[in-house]
Amino acid sequence: MSEFDAIFVGAGHNSLACAAHLSLKGWKTAVFERSATIGGAVRTAEYTLPGFRHDFGAMNLSLFAGSAFHRKYANELKSHGLEFAQVADCFASAFPDGKWFGVSNDLEKTAARLAAFSAADVATWRRLVGAFPGEAEHLFRLLGSPMSPRALAGTAWNLWRKKGIGGALETGRLLLSSPRAWLEDNFETPHVQTTLAAWGMHLDFAPDIAGGAVFPYLESMANQSFGMVLGKGGADTIIRALVGMVKAAGGKVMAGAEVAEITVAGGRATGVRLASGDFHVASKAVIAGVAPKALTGKLLPEGSGDAGFDAAMKKFRHAPGTMMIHLALDDLPDWSAGAELRHFAYVHLAPSLDAMSRTYQQAMAGTLPDQPVLVVGQPTAVDPSRAPEGKHVLWVQVRMLPAEILGDAAGKIAPGSWDAVKDAYAERVLDIIESYAPCLRQKILGRAIFSPLDLERENPNLVGGDQICGSHHLAQNFLFRPARGFARWNTPVGNLYLTGAATWPGAGTGAGSGFMLAQQLGGN
């Protein structure tokens, strides 16, 4: 038995960022991770063939690069090996009619591509990009502040002071709009609307879901203004650097150490019991980077003592799942829409707003989508160090899929477990890619497929393969993430806190949840 100030359940990047800050503040910390590999959804490994490094989950590290944590600790992270690869050609979409549109960090390049569709859309793009710094100040402040009435009032006051009542209401309207409403208000070309709307599908914002417009808006403007950032050699560069920081500050990070129970006495968390039977004591905090459903009846066998909280954790809503297909390739895909697509970090394959809405609805109804949205990541187009010379890896994210399969919208795959279905479904995905990039299969040297069930096996926070650990719809975001009254990482159990994607400010590699909690506990 050892005694620590803070014990962390799970070594996702939020826990690690929190542990790093608290360790540097003098806290004695220990991070326990059930998996043999540290990093949760941010890991890199040779899943297919030796020498081919694949990002298991997150590939795009722009949120980490732009985070408050990175701003504060850039030097420390760098000294522990953090290295980024900067992307110029960020994201694009290829379409069934042979056209494509893409956003590069060079405004004139993007504008020239837009001009092929519509002069009005060029003008709108230039206007939005010009206004972005003024808008971003408020949105980033909102997303980077704790969910307290005081912080919210401060953001609203600043917004009103800088933009007046009309401007403030316009920002509010953007926050409430669906992707389709905002995109159709602003752009006239379906190809452009569709390219931007694909960002909503990285979360669970299909085109008609209220509150989703802000994600296509922020991603488009941020990619245009700052480009995108990948990890040099793999996304796990941030994990290795975070672990280095924690250890250098005296903290412990233990892999293969599953926490079976959070011990509680007198209404306060006192430590953890590992699956191995070992007990460890935490005098100031137990910080659980887990999915809400893992608490009551599991990590807290007796519950939290607050029936309302326990019910809310059980009812926490997960988003549809994801399948990941990792390919080792002889060469990048030959995109029929244009060879320039080979330079892009992401090529989205999502033909229209309606198709995306249908895909989401099919997944929600338990049906395998006939046409899933594909995010085809080409990390070696940016960072060749991830594969042997001249070879490539492809990172294919398949959105959105049901956790339990009740049927197939294409009527071809019999319902069954994901273990039984995943190979057939992966063939559907490859067929779709080949319809845009012929003969891809001939370039495949190796493949590794992770169904939604496999994702959950690798990381239990990805419930049903939900890559964002909980729906981000308005009723479960902001003051309601993970539940009303608990948006500040607090729980009804004294000294027990939640961190991670299920908590404010949600999924992604921005480390906001872990860092804001760390500052709340240990000061700035």
Ligand X SMILES: Cc1cc2nc3c(=O)[nH]c(=O)nc-3n(C[C@H](O)[C@H](O)[C@H](O)COP(=O)(O)OP(=O)(O)OC[C@H]3O[C@@H](n4cnc5c(N)ncnc54)[C@H](O)[C@@H]3O)c2cc1C
Q: Which of 7, 29, 40, 481 binds ligand X (CB under 6 A)?
A: 40
Residue 29 binds ligand X, judged by CB under 6 A: no
Query: Which residue number, 121 or 456, has a Cβ lying nearer to ligand X?
Result: 456
Check: CB of residue 34 under 8 Å from CB of residue 291: no
* Residue 149 beta carbon to ligand X: minimum distance, rounded to whole angstroms: 25
Q: Which of 34, 53, 70, 481 binds ligand X (CB under 6 A)?
A: 34
* Residue 108 beta carbon to ligand X: minimum distance, rounded to whole angstroms: 27
The DSSP bridge partners found for residue 228 are 87
Check: CB of residue 118 under 8 Å from CB of residue 192: yes
Stretch that binds ligand X, among 6-14, 126-134, 152-160, 326-334 (CB under 6 A): 6-14
* Residue 112 beta carbon to ligand X: minimum distance, rounded to whole angstroms: 27
What is the helix (H) or strand (E) element at residue 154, kind and residue range?
helix 149-176
Rg (CA), the chain: 22
The tokens for 145 are 């502040």
Q: Name 123's Cβ contacts closer than 8 Å, sequence gap at least 6.
A: none
* Residue 497 beta carbon to ligand X: minimum distance, rounded to whole angstroms: 13
Residue 159 binds ligand X, judged by CB under 6 A: no
Give dist(CA 351, CA 76) in Å, integer: 43
Amino acid, res. 171 = T
Binding track, positions 258-297, relative to ligand X; x by CB under 6 A: xx-----------------------------xx---x---
Check: CB of residue 185 under 8 Å from CB of residue 121: no
Q: Which of 5, 33, 204, 219 binds ligand X (CB under 6 A)?
A: 33
* Residue 472 beta carbon to ligand X: minimum distance, rounded to whole angstroms: 10
The tokens for 261 are 């129970």
* Residue 40 beta carbon to ligand X: minimum distance, rounded to whole angstroms: 2
Which stretches of 314-422 are assigned E, i.e. beta strand?
321-329, 346-349, 367-368, 373-377, 392-401, 407-408
From residue 317, alpha-carbon distances to 80, 186, 291, 489, 494 in Å are 37, 31, 10, 17, 25
Stretch that binds ligand X, among 38-46, 99-107, 400-408, 433-441 (CB under 6 A): 38-46
Residue 18 binds ligand X, judged by CB under 6 A: no
- 149-152 contacts: CB < 8 A, separation 24 or more? 152/479
Q: Which of 7, 14, 48, 90 binds ligand X (CB under 6 A)?
A: 14
Q: Which of 20, 59, 203, 401 binds ligand X (CB under 6 A)?
A: 59
Q: Name 199's Cβ contacts closer than 8 Å, sequence gap at least 6.
A: 91, 215, 216, 219, 220
* Residue 193 beta carbon to ligand X: minimum distance, rounded to whole angstroms: 22
Exposed, middle or buried by CB within 10 Å (0-12, 13-18, 19+), for 378? buried
> Contacts with ligand X: how many residues (CB under 6 A)?
40
Query: Which residue number, 160 or 226, has a Cβ lying nearer to ligand X?
Result: 226
Amino acid, res. 356 = M
DSSP 485: T
Nearest residue to 401 (alpha-carbon basis) of 344, 480, 318: 318
The tokens for 477 are 């975001």
Check: CB of residue 18 under 8 Å from CB of residue 514: yes
Q: Which of 5, 7, 10, 191 binds ligand X (CB under 6 A)?
A: 10
Binding track, positions 318-357, relative to ligand X; x by CB under 6 A: ----x-x---------------------------------
* 3-class secondary structure, 467: coil
Q: Name 6's Cβ contacts closer than 8 Å, sequence gap at least 6.
A: 19, 22, 27, 28, 29, 30, 282, 284, 285, 286, 287, 521
* Residue 303 beta carbon to ligand X: minimum distance, rounded to whole angstroms: 17
* Residue 452 beta carbon to ligand X: minimum distance, rounded to whole angstroms: 10
Residue 32 binds ligand X, judged by CB under 6 A: yes
Query: Which residue number, 222 or 324, has a Cβ lying nearer to ligand X?
Result: 324
Of 387-416, binders to ligand X (CB under 6 A) are 397
Of 63-82, binders to ligand X (CB under 6 A) are 63
Handedness of CA 491, 497, 501, 503 (dihedral sign): positive
* Residue 63 beta carbon to ligand X: minimum distance, rounded to whole angstroms: 4
Stretch that binds ligand X, among 5-13, 66-74, 348-356, 438-446 (CB under 6 A): 5-13
Q: Name 441's Cβ contacts closer than 8 Å, sequence gap at least 6.
A: 430, 434
Of 443-502, binders to ligand X (CB under 6 A) are 455, 459-462, 467-469, 500-501
- Please state whether beta strands 54-55 and 44-45 pair in parallel, antiparallel, or not at all (unpaired): antiparallel
Stretch that binds ligand X, among 53-61, 136-144, 305-313, 350-358 (CB under 6 A): 53-61
* Residue 518 phi, psi (nearest 5): -60, -40
Query: Which residue number, 294 or 493, has a Cβ lying nearer to ligand X?
Result: 294
* Residue 400 beta carbon to ligand X: minimum distance, rounded to whole angstroms: 12
Stretch that binds ligand X, among 3-11, 131-139, 217-225, 489-497 (CB under 6 A): 3-11
* Residue 395 beta carbon to ligand X: minimum distance, rounded to whole angstroms: 9
Please give the residue ranges that form the binding site for ligand X (CB under 6 A).
Answer: 9-15, 32-35, 40-42, 57-60, 63, 258-259, 289-290, 294, 322, 324, 397, 455, 459-462, 467-469, 500-501, 507-509
